[in-house]
Amino acid sequence: MDTLENSFIERQIRRTNRNLVLVNGILLAALLAVVALNYRYAINFVRGPKAISTEDLLAIQDPEQRPQFFVQVTGDRLAPTGFQHVEQQINESTNKVESESVKYDYKALKVGERWLLVKAPGSSVATGFSGALVKDSEGADVVGQIEQAEPGLKGQFLPFVLDTVDYRDNGYWALGIGIPILLLLGWNLAKWAARTSDRSAHPIIRKLRAYGEPEMISMEIENEITQAPQAIGVAVITRSWLFAPFVFGLKIARLPDVVWAYKKVIRHYHSFIPTGKTYSALLFSRSGESFEVSMKEKKIDELLQGVAARVPWVIAGFSNEIQAMWKNNRAALIQAVDEKRAKLASAASASSAHA
Report domain extents, the chain.
39-167, 228-354
| From 99-103, 169-173, 215-219, 313-317, the region with the lowest mean pLDDT | 99-103
User: In degrees, to the nearest 5, what angle opens at C-alpha 23 toward C-alphas 17 and 28?
Assistant: 120
> Which residues neighbour 131 within 8 Å (Cβ) at sequence distance 6 or greater?
49, 70, 71, 73, 118, 119, 162, 163, 164, 165, 167
* Rounded Cα gap, residues 281 and 297, in angstroms: 9
Residues 147-199: pLDDT tens digits? 999 999 999 999 999 999 888 888 999 999 999 999 999 999 999 999 999 98
% pLDDT > 90, the chain: 81
How many helices and strands (H and E) does the chain possess? 10, 15
CB-count burial class (<10 Å; 0-12, 13-18, 19+) for 207: middle
Residues 305-313, mean pLDDT to the nearest whole number: 96
What backbone torsions phi and psi does residue 105 show, to the nearest 5 degrees? -100, 155
CB-count burial class (<10 Å; 0-12, 13-18, 19+) for 280: middle
* Rounded Cα gap, residues 240 and 200, in angstroms: 23
What is the reported pLDDT for 355?
56
Residue 100 pLDDT exceeds 70:
yes
Amino acid at 59: A
Q: What is the pLDDT confidence band of residue 1, given thresholds at 50, 70 and 90?
A: very low
Look at the domain 228-354 and name its fold: PH-domain like (2.30.29)
- Residue whose C-alpha is closest to residue 71's, from 112, 113, 118, 108: 118
Q: What is the pLDDT confidence band of residue 39, given thresholds at 50, 70 and 90?
A: very high
CB-count burial class (<10 Å; 0-12, 13-18, 19+) for 324: exposed
| From 121-125, 126-130, 146-150, the region with the lowest mean pLDDT | 121-125
> Which residues neighbour 171 within 8 Å (Cβ) at sequence distance 6 or greater?
41, 42, 45
